[in-house]
A = this chain, B = another copy of it.
Amino acid sequence: MLPMRPELLKGHLDALLLAVLEPGPQHGYAVIEALRTGSDGALDLPTGTVYPALHRLERAGLIASDWHTVGGRRRRAYHLTPAGHAALGEQRAVWDQFSTAVTALLARRPWPSTA
């Protein structure tokens, strides 16, 4: 599996984080694992990417957090706010449109096909 160029994520990370949190509250570390396993290993994001992104989403009011202590370890569990649910819906639509457009353009092959 080729290492994915970093910049590819730009602008799509928020949608992924919201999607991971949609089924229920998760703490940061678990989010990272969910992204890795849910993408078959393709998205193995460093903590320096995910934690600041979660802070950003919280500042934006799309997620909220509560501190817990489990087995002596402090955990911060994030969950979607109503605004976050709404944003996720929009982001899915945006992704559909974007990925459809890119896929269509990349699929264009030299042979004139139907011409």
A19 within 8 A of B: yes
Contact with B along A67-84 (1 / 0, CB 8 A): 000000000000000000
**With A19-B106, A22-B108, A23-B108 as given contacts, are A94 and B11 in contact (CB-CB < 8 Å)?**
no
A53 within 8 A of B: no
Q: List 5 A-B contacts (CB under 8 A).
A: A2-B97, A4-B94, A5-B11, A15-B102, A16-B106
A106 contacts B15, CB within 8 Å?
yes
A60 within 8 A of B: no
> Interface on A for B, CB 8 Å cutoff?
1-2, 4-12, 15-16, 19-20, 22-24, 35, 38-40, 42-43, 90-95, 97-106, 108-110
A98 contacts B42, CB within 8 Å?
yes
A95 contacts B103, CB within 8 Å?
yes
Contacts of A16 on B, CB cut-off 8 Å?
A: 102, 105-106
Q: With the chains together, A74 CA to B33 CA distance in Å?
A: 53
